[in-house]
């Protein structure tokens, strides 16, 4: 199980100001609402809700906010009419982009995203125009310190992992989306901590960029990521270590 890093180009959110944190809380609330609406308000029986709550608590979201979002999702409070949509297109320098959206007004969101794409020289496309370039996977990034590859391999493959590789000081473990919760639980039971775990979209082919192009594309992706309705942004850019460190 070998290959290039699947997490090297995944952007992790930086430490937030109060305004940024409030924006992230809004996104997390939407994720909790949708999870509760689809699978019920009991996190013990709803793995998606359990993860959404864990993500919220990791950003110090108050319990009252979490409880309110769950109740919106289950219909106990108003405001739970959220839907999930994928928007796809091409950004600057023909970079393929997929945005996972949670919105209560898809027409408004589509209009706002179309404008962002056009402002950066790209275009919002039709459904499926770039999705075929990506594979939906569960990704776990695990520190390799004090953890043998043999132990991780045994635990992870038993729980459904289909790719494990060591890159520098970390392991990267991939699984099919439907095995994400099972693998997450197995790692937790084994006392294996993850630096990051998420459902993500991994490009099958990537686009190499020079530094100037990378700056343009990253500015565009950051604007998309900053939109209130955008839960995640995936692209097929490939940044060398040299360019990534210069950004």
| Fold: same for 18-74 and 133-203 | no
209, 237 Cβ separation under 8 angstroms: yes
CA atoms of 165 and 148, how far apart (whole Å): 12
CA-to-CA distance for 182 and 177, rounded, in angstroms? 10
Of all residues in the chain, the percent with pLDDT exceeding 70 is 92
Residue 96 has pLDDT above 70, yes or no: yes
The predicted pLDDT at position 56 comes to: 92
pLDDT higher at 80 or 124: 124
Angle between helices 47-58 and 180-189 (to 10 degrees): 60
Least confident among 75-84, 88-97, 124-133, 202-211: 75-84
Structural domain spans, the chain = 18-74, 84-132+204-246, 133-203
Is the pLDDT at 3 greater than 70? The verdict is no
SS3 call for 23: helix
Model confidence at 7: pLDDT above 90: no
Place 199 in a pLDDT band, splitting at 50, 70 and 90: confident
Angstrom distances, CA of residue 143 to CA of 13, 156, 237:
19, 14, 25
Region 141-165: what's the mean pLDDT? 92
In this prediction, residue 11 has a pLDDT band, given cuts at 50, 70 and 90, of very low
* Chain centroid offset of residue 72 CA: 23
| Architecture of the 133-203 domain | 2-Layer Sandwich (3.30)
Rounded to an integer, the average pLDDT of 171-195 is: 91
pLDDT at residue 1, as a whole number: 43
Burial 110-142 (b: 16+ CB within 10 A, else e): beebeebbeebebebbeeeebbebbeebbbbbb
CA distance 19 to 146: 38
- Among the residue ranges 18-32, 42-56, 210-224, the one predicted with the least confidence is 18-32
Q: What is the pLDDT of residue 21?
A: 77
Q: Domain 84-132+204-246: which CATH class?
A: alpha beta
In Å, how far are 39, 41, 88, 101, 169 from 132, measured between CA atoms?
27, 33, 11, 18, 32
Q: How much is the mean pLDDT over the chain?
A: 88
Q: What is the pTM of this model?
A: 0.79
Query: Which of these CATH numbers, 3.10.20.600, 2.102.10.10, 1.10.3720.10, 1.10.10.200, describes 18-74?
Result: 1.10.10.200
């Amino acid at each position: 199980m070998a290959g290039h890093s699947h997490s090297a180009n995944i952007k992790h959110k930086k430490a937030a100001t109060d305004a940024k944190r409030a924006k992230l809380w809004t996104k997390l609330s939407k994720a909790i609402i949708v999870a509760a609406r689809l699978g019920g308000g009991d996190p013990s029986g709803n793995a998606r809700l359990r993860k959404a709550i864990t993500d919220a608590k990791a950003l110090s979201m108050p319990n009252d906010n979490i409880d309110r979002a769950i109740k919106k999702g289950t219909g106990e409070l108003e405001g739970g009419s959220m839907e999930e949509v994928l928007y796809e297109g091409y950004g600057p320098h023909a970079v393929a982009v997929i945005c996972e959206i949670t919105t209560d007004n898809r027409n408004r969101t589509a209009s706002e995203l179309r404008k962002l794409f056009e402002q950066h020289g790209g275009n919002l496309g039709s459904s499926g125009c770039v999705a075929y370039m990506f594979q939906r996977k569960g990704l776990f990034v695990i520190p390799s310190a004090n953890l043998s590859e043999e132990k991780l391999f045994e635990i992870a493959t038993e729980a459904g992992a289909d790719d494990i590789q060591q890159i520098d000081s970390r392991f990267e473990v991939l699984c099919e989306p439907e095995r994400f919760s099972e693998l997450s639980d197995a790692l937790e039971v084994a006392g294996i901590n993850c630096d990051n775990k998420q459902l993500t979209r991994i490009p099958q082919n990537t686009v190499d960029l020079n530094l100037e192009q990378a700056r343009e594309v990253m500015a565009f992706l950051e604007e998309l990521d900053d939109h209130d309705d955008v839960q995640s942004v995936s692209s097929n850019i490939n940044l060398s270590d040299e360019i990534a460190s210069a950004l």
